[in-house]
Amino acid sequence: MSRAVEVSVVLPAYNEADTIAETVETTLDALSSFLPAGSFTVIVAEDGCEDRTPEIADRLAAGDERVRHVHDTLVYFDTDLATDMSHLEELVESVRSGEYHVATGSRWLPGADADRPAKRGVPSLGFNTLVRLFLRSDLRDHQCGFKAFDRDALFDLLDGVEDDHWFWDTEVLVRAQRAGCRVREFPVDWTPKGDSKVDIVRDVFGMGSQIVRTWWQLSVSPRLTRRVSLAAGTLLVVLALALLPLYLDPAAVIDRMSGAWQTHPELLVLSGAIYLLSWPIRGMRYRDILAELGYTERVGFLTGAVFISQTGNLVFPARAGDAVRAYVVKARRSIPYPSGFASLAVERVFDLLTITGLAGAVLLGLAVADPSSLGALASAVTGGRASGRIAVAVAAAVGAAAVGVTAVIVASARSDTNYVRGAVRRLSTDSYADYVAGVLERFTGDVQRIAGNRRAFVRTGATSLLIWTLDVLTAVAVFAAFDVDVAPVTLLAVGFFAVSVGNLAKVLPLSPGGIGLYEAAFSLLVVALLPSVSTATALGAAIVDHAIKNAVTIAGGLVSMAWLNVSLTTAVEESKAAGDVEAAPDTD
């Protein structure tokens, strides 16, 4: 070309063999009507087409130097020409003049002429409303396929843009406004062409999750400094203590706890020793899981890795410590991040399945031994405090999900049928659905390695059962220190149920270490099933039980961090970065 290219128009194309040639010709004619020859280029950007679109694009590029065929997206409008091409000059000149950094057509501004059927209009209006509300955007239409960008401004923005799919243009527009770019939105005439590509998996799960992710990154995360987090946590603790007298006498709880320590310190020490015994078994189970994934490591090192990750869960919110283990085994034993995350997922499935099974088995036993106990339990749950009801509801939901997911995985472990991808494709055939299916397939595939090996499945299940049995025995020893007047067998049965439900309740990252949820579920069930035990005693025992377990965890974590030379803060940051990479779609 004799002149420097001033305007690049990108046509994103996916299976557009029937229209791409005509679209390119129409675009060239429109551009040449107001731009000098040689000052513009039309880029056909396609990726993953299943028809002749790439072949046609190659032919067009070979026959006209103004046309290029690439797999990159800079500036674009939809290849179905839904937007009237009479607006192209206004779009291009808005940016070319230097007045704006970004220009975008709008189907929702006054003056726009857009024939939008409900199937397209309602989801679009809902999506744009959420973007305006959560992401503080001033634009009305973020996904109109008619946009132009200043190249330098766009490249500056792209470093922060994470999505490379349908949310890409929305994220660019939102970040452009946050960066102070001049953005112009103008009404266009728009006529839908062909069938709507609204998709359940992509639009509901994909787009919704991207709005939440961007909102967190732009509005929440920058404000979550350590000082703010500490202040918020302190405020919540103070508020909880202030409200406690509304429900029971704090002095009574403290008195029960103090009395247990003064009269039976040996039982509390014993409870800590029992709980400590479960940690090498956790290391053994982790060794067996990694062995099925192809890695052989010593129990001592793996026990230390588990200690560190669980300490991270107590210190950092949203169970950030879970991914720390993947960092530790990668940094100290070169086990790849995907395998580290996979082993953690497998372990979580067995944990959830075991404690759900324990709770269900004990509940069934109580129903057989004393049917009236179920009525008391139901009455306590429906009429109890909000925190207890929430905890039990969370436990029930998590337990049901664990049983359902595990049942499906085990049932399909020896089958050649890809149930995951088949189920997702019943909802969607979009490429984002393929990505979702891929993530689920990797997870189920890792669990199936264990489920498909009967010996490994039984061994991992047995160690999981032993781990949680020791967890329950820890709580029973604590209860014994409170001098409760309950038969040992009954106390053991109730302990199994209360500890199981308490641990299920704290699975969701609603508080660091599940503090509050565990105690609420634990004490609620104890009081319901053991009328002779007061609320103050049940809550005091729950607090001491959880405190002893957390103390053992933190002590083990500190020793392990010193032994393995691991910084917990660095581990959390590095594992988060690795988790973001692992979660990103594969675009190769």
What is the residue type of 395?
A
Q: What does the alpha-carbon distance between residue 384 and residue 529 come to, in Å, rounded to a whole number? A: 13
d(CA 436, CA 263): 56
Catalytic residue among 163, 169, 199, 288: 169
Could you tell me if 163 and 171 are in contact, meaning their C-beta atoms sit under 8 angstroms apart? yes
Tell me the chain's radius of gyration from C-alpha atoms.
30
End-to-end CA distance of the chain: 32
Beta-carbon contacts of 55 under 8 Å, excluding residues fewer than 6 positions away, are none
- The conformation of residue 247, written as its DSSP 8-state character, comes to T
C-alpha 237/C-alpha 58 separation (Å) is 65
User: Of 13, 152, 34, which Cα lies nearest the Cα of 76?
Assistant: 13
Task: Answer yes or no: are the C-beta atoms of 293 and 343 closer than 8 Å.
Answer: yes
CA 453 from centroid of its chain's CA atoms: 29
Closest CA to 476 of 259, 274, 258: 274
**CB 103, CB 44: distance < 8 Å:** no
Please, which residues bridge with residue 42 across strands? Answer: 9, 67
Q: HSE-up of 62 (CA within 13 Å, CB side)?
A: 6
C-beta separation of 307 from 559 below 8 A: yes
Q: What DSSP character marks residue 165?
A: S
CA distance 312 to 307: 9
Contacts by residues 52-58 (CB-CB < 8 Å, ≥ 24 positions apart): 52/17, 53/13, 53/14, 53/15, 53/16, 53/17, 53/20, 56/17, 56/20, 56/21, 57/13, 57/20
- Provide φ and ψ at 146, rounded to 5°: -155, 85
Q: Is 156 a catalytic residue?
A: no
Query: What tokens does 113 get?
Result: 């002429």
Residue 580 CB coordination number (10 Å): 10
Which are the catalytic amino acids? 169
